[in-house]
Chains A and B, each alone.
Chain A
């Protein structure tokens, strides 16, 4: 479980996050949703330590991340896997070397064990046989899957995914969503996904927190989001005319 308490962050005097309190539960896909520029990515980057929060605390299973020094944070980070929006693969390395990298850097595994684990991770994301490709030779969906394989290589306890579906077609998006959900259930990890894709919300959102203007505006699950009664979230969910039409049809029934 990851818990944030009273988290706040500002840049150049402009407040981005206002005293956010939330618990991200273990074994579930926890979504952070909201419109662009509302502070979703800043919240996630504060949680993994890429940004220093101005105030508040972050706990990884009761371990206070905010009070840790660089070395202690480094140890916690070895328990974190992260899938970036653009996959952030190391472009000088092959697919296989990207997945191997954290294993070679932080474990005492033998070459054979590393190769076995790498092959397993690539197989898990349906990329067997792609070991020697360079990231530039992979499609967007493949790059995301390599990113997931790299993120799970170290058997993380926490998985962060920053807009995993951005730039992907709907079918590939569902593949990535299902993969994230399966991995979360299979390894009993705490997964945090930042998204504004309603398909993802309805597909995998076990727990959802809605961020609006830097504040926690609503939280619940994918079933309750449809009739949340919250004006801001309804504007978000039913933003397109297609969704508005569906809502009016549902209301008529």
Chain B
């Protein structure tokens, strides 16, 4: 399947237009949910860390540091990808699946269009281009959410929180997070496309394929997360 997906598009103009449309559908339209999740996630991480810091030996900036490291290393790339697996994965599987059962994919094939390439490649490109943007956006909002929560609860000052955010910052962690995001984005779109493209039957089967796509891509994300962490952080 992947060999056909990554073959040369019939028309680059079509491919370009479709890719821009997909960036809007699966990328820009995901901004609100990512913003909401990230802000509250950052707020909860900061509050939980602050509430557990009873030892006087721990410096005050620890709250900011833990918010920064857990957000960059795990919460933004992995949790946001799991959320996108639900939102984008089900959307892609049901869209392609509906095209399959209504013979729209057959219509493309009869015309001589490489349907896998036409339908799937723009979605893969959109995910690879825009998922990193979503994750960087998520990191920023998560840390902002943590700051707001601490400020409202009067648990620390802005200066100490920013000091924590900047402490022990390792730029490689950003590379690690974005690499994970690219792999997760590819897994989400390709797995969902696979389930949608090869669906057989009617609307119930499209629903089943959509659910299966979300479950499978979530499991794939967890496994890939473990493998990438082993390779990139511990090797």
Contacts and interface: CB of A to CB of B under 8 A. Distances in A.
Given A77-B112, A78-B112, A105 B106 contact: no
Interface in B89-135: 102-104, 106-107, 109-114
B113 to A, nearest CB: 6
A102 to B, nearest CB: 5
Interface string A70-111: 100111111010101110111100000000011011100000
Given A104-B14, A105-B11, A85 B103 contact: yes
Contacts of A85: 103
B21 to A, nearest CB: 9
Given A77-B111, A102-B111, A50 B14 contact: no
B10 interface: yes
B152 to A, nearest CB: 44
Contacts of A154: 111
Given A50-B110, A102-B111, A84 B11 contact: no
Interface size classification for chain B = 10 to 19
Contacts of B10: 105-106
A48 interface: yes
A88 B112 CA distance: 15
A88 B109 contact: no
Contact of B111 (A78, A86, A89): A78
Contacts of A80: 110
Nearest to A102: B111
A102 B114 CA distance: 12
A78 B14 CA distance: 17
Given A86-B103, A88-B104, A48 B112 contact: no
Interface size classification for chain A = 20 to 34
Nearest to A85: B103
B102 to A, nearest CB: 6
Given A48-B110, A78-B112, A105 B103 contact: no
Nearest to B95: A92
A85 B106 CA distance: 12
B112 A106 contact: yes
Interface string A157-181: 0001000000000000000000000
B102 A86 contact: yes
A110 to B, nearest CB: 14
Contacts of A50: 106, 109-110
Nearest to B113: A105
A91 B102 CA distance: 10
Contacts of A104: 11, 14
Nearest to B21: A92
A88 B107 contact: yes
A49 B112 CA distance: 10
Interface string B3-43: 00000001100100000000000000000000000000000
Nearest to B106: A50
A75 B114 CA distance: 12
Contacts of B103: 84-86, 88
Interface string B201-213: 0000000000000
A65 to B, nearest CB: 13
Nearest to A81: B110
Contacts of B114: 70, 74
Interface string B143-173: 0000000000000000000000000000000
B112 A74 contact: yes
A152 B63 CA distance: 67
Given A88-B103, A88-B104, A105 B111 contact: yes
A76 B104 CA distance: 19
B102 A82 contact: no
B111 A84 contact: no
Given A74-B112, A91-B104, 6 more contacts: A48-B110, A50-B109, A70-B114, A74-B114, A80-B110, A105-B10
7 contacts: A75-B112, A77-B111, A77-B112, A84-B103, A89-B104, A91-B102, A104-B11
Interface of B: 10-11, 14, 102-104, 106-107, 109-114
What 7 A-B pairs come out closest when comparing CB atoms?
A: A77-B112, A88-B103, A74-B112, A88-B107, A82-B110, A84-B103, A78-B112
